[in-house]
Amino acid sequence: MTVRRLIPSIDLLLQRPALSAAVGSHGQNRVTDAARIAAAALRSAEERGEPGLPATSEDAATWLEGRVLDDLNRLFTPSLRRVINATGVILHTNLGRAPLSTEAIARAALIAAGYSNLEYDVDAGTRGHRRAHAERLLCAVTGADAALVVNNNAAAVLLVLTALAAGREAIVSRGELVEIGGGFRVPEILAQSGATLREVGTTNRTRVSDYAAAISERTGLVLRVHPSNFRITGFTERPRLDDLAVITRRFGLPLVEDLGSGWLDADGDPAPALADEPSVRESLRGGADLVAFSGDKLLGGPQAGIVAGRRDLVDRLGQHPLMRALRADKLTYAMLEATLLLWAQPSTRTRLPVHRMLLMTPQDIEARARRLDAALEGTPGLRARLIDGASTTGGGSAPDSSLPTRLLAVEIDGVGAAALEATLRHGDPAVIARIQDEAVVIDMRTVMPEEEDELAHAVRRAGERSRKAFTMKK
Ligand SMILES: *Cc1c(COP(=O)(O)O)cnc(C)c1O
């Protein structure tokens, strides 16, 4: 008999206890739809000649029931999930960049749960401005006269170019026409803004005189871009910002710097990996009229784009119609303000997870790796050893910087590194780790302290699982 003939009617199927319970929680229509889809899937499995299909009506009903429940379950599970980042890449673009501080989370929860003065002047009892939030703090920590917040740094750069250079030329060095992770390409953003790209210099060398020669009555602004994840080495030249500022001032043109990472450098920070990272404060002091940077890179806050600098220019951005489309929401303001408050004092800065991770020494990390090693003791077939390695800041900041770390290299007898890595990734929570020299390596730098027990449990379980799969194959 063909499977097709074993498929019960939808009505009959929905009378099964598990499915009638599902109807109770999801409603008749949704479960009926899922049952139709399951029946169609069974028919097409038969057409494809798949092996192991149900042989009796009861088997078919069980098959369909399982399929319906799985589908409903998958449909109503959030797709955005927490993962454990054991890669050692602090601002991992694919893993959501900066984890937030407890303070920022608490602030977001407070503002999210009720109403707020987002656009209300409580003192005057009149309409207020969203833009007022975070501005005072941003100015305090960067030294800028004015600042505004949009959705992300790509939006910040787009807004600057549109408001200040649409229909005119934006001068950019050929060495800075870069693509940054996630499809941010300087020439494409420029094209979207309605400004015309005026390239100057060469890929490896651009001088102040190249900029000066390109300036004309068509020029709208000069843009400098932090090359982020890309570095040109060897025979290179890039003008100092202050030398370039002399020229742009002479012609009365805005000098804009897209810094990307948003290192604030409030009062000389100790993170050695970032010694060469240009800070927002230095850039403004060096003569940039506007600086654009991300909220969720080295700043360690929520996804946001910040433009800081000259009051008259920031006001022009704020009044541009595009501002309405790019504006940040109240939760972003809440989280950003809490983050900036932590930045304002050196003693509270280490409450930002990104800061803590940057400052962790190989000794700190080794101590944590040893704890993990001890917790893995006795897992059948598991071998672990401590090795030297490198963590990275990621997120297109400090491109050359690698931070010395200590890794726990984990191997399971008879199981390849790729298989173990995949098993870790498929766990709940997923553990994302790297493979190095045929072993899965775990960098505790990016594992949150409260995740340590969970990580040990996950590695142990993955070890047991991948070994079971291996012995079954044998
Ligand atoms: C990261 C980065 C961007 C894009 O910032 P988002 O916040 O991801 O939109 C733009 N420019 C530079 C130099 C960057 O490093």
The pLDDT assigned to 400 comes to 55
Report how far residue 89's alpha carbon sits from residue 249's, in angstroms, rounded to the nearest whole number: 40
**Coil, helix or strand at residue 34:** helix
**Coil, helix or strand at residue 413:** coil
**Coil, helix or strand at residue 291:** strand
Instruction: Determine the residue of 157, 184, 274 to mutate for testing ligand 1's pocket, defined as the one with the most ligand atoms within 8 A of the Cβ atom.
Output: 184
Per-residue pLDDT of the chain in tens (474 residues, 90 and over written 9): 588 889 999 999 999 999 999 999 999 999 999 999 999 999 999 999 988 899 999 999 999 999 999 999 999 999 999 999 999 999 999 999 999 999 999 999 999 999 999 999 999 999 999 999 999 999 999 999 999 999 999 999 999 999 999 999 999 999 998 887 677 888 999 999 999 999 999 888 899 999 999 999 999 999 999 876 666 777 788 889 999 999 999 999 999 999 998 888 766 555 677 777 889 999 999 999 999 999 999 999 999 999 999 999 999 999 999 999 999 999 999 999 999 999 988 889 999 999 999 999 999 999 999 999 999 999 999 999 999 999 999 876 665 578 999 999 999 999 999 999 999 999 999 999 999 999 999 999 999 999 999 999 999 999 888 877 777 765
Distance of CA 443 from the midpoint of ligand 1 (Å): 25
Instruction: Determine the residue of 258, 290, 397 to mutate for testing ligand 1's pocket, defined as the one with the most ligand atoms within 8 A of the Cβ atom.
Output: 258
- Determine contact, residues 53/45, Cβ cutoff 8 Å: yes
Residues 6+ apart with CB under 8 A from 132: none
Q: Which atom of ligand 1 is nearest to the CA of 182?
A: 8
Question: pTM for the complete prediction?
Answer: 0.91
Distance of CA 110 from the midpoint of ligand 1 (Å): 29
Residues 6+ apart with CB under 8 A from 175: 201, 202, 203, 204, 205, 206, 227, 232, 236, 238
Q: What is the DSSP string of 317-370?
A: HHHSTHHHHHBPPHHHHHHHHHHHHHHTSHHHHTTSHHHHHHH--HHHHHHHHH
Closest by CA to 429, choosing from 73, 93, 85, 74, is 85
What is the Cβ-side half-sphere exposure of residue 341, based on CA atoms within 13 angstroms? 13
Asked if residue 153 has its Cβ within 6 Å of ligand 1, the reply is: yes
Looking at every residue in the chain, the average pLDDT score rounds to 92
Asked if residue 258 has its Cβ within 6 Å of ligand 1, the reply is: yes
**Coil, helix or strand at residue 397:** coil
Asked if residue 222 has its Cβ within 6 Å of ligand 1, the reply is: no
Report how far residue 269's alpha carbon sits from residue 8's, in angstroms, rounded to the nearest whole number: 69
pLDDT tens sequence across 304-329: 999 999 999 999 999 999 999 999 99
pLDDT tens sequence across 364-412: 999 999 999 999 999 999 999 999 999 999 876 665 578 999 999 999 9
Q: What value, to the nearest 5°, has the Cα angle with vertex 471 and ends 455 and 84?
A: 15
